[in-house]
Homo-oligomer: A and B are copies of this chain.
């Protein structure tokens, strides 16, 4: 286990607290108390409260972008790409449930450039997802239903998986992947 520097340590504790209570409900005093220091001391490591939010959310958003880019460019069927995307979401959600919660709940408290960057990344991600579905329909691999409904249904399940995985005692990752692929993809396969 690597020793964290002070800033990483602060971000880690902040992630846990904000996941539990929400961004606006966690004060710098709360955060400092959890680290056993005074609030003022935090400002030696971070510029302000916003920096905590944007660092955590953009880091996870960029991890999804990297994963998506790779999968999008694979030379394989759309169904295989969707299967890989399910795996990507499961892997990231399991290891970063705090950051997933913040991305889900608190992105709207981002400001200025960080907000724009986040929304841009998220839109690009959704567009790639939609393109994969449409290609699958055109290739006859995926049933010819409204692609928006398919995209929405899959994404909403994948995006809230972190909630559910936490709640019910962490099942085996490989079983989770198998069952999730089956439930999400069997219904749209031709």
Taking Cβ atoms with an 8 Å cutoff, the residues of A that contact B are: 21-22, 24-25, 105, 108-109, 143, 145-146, 148-150, 152-153, 156-157, 159-161, 163-164, 168, 171, 175-176, 179-180, 182-188
Contacts and interface: CB of A to CB of B under 8 A. Distances in A.
A183 B24 contact: no
A183 B105 contact: no
A168 B176 CA distance: 31
Contact of A153 (B22, B143, B157): B157
Given A105-B105, A156-B164, A157-B157, A145 B24 contact: no
B183 A145 contact: yes
A83 to B, nearest CB: 14
Nearest to A160: B156
Contacts of A157: 152-153, 156-157
A124 to B, nearest CB: 16
B145 A182 contact: yes
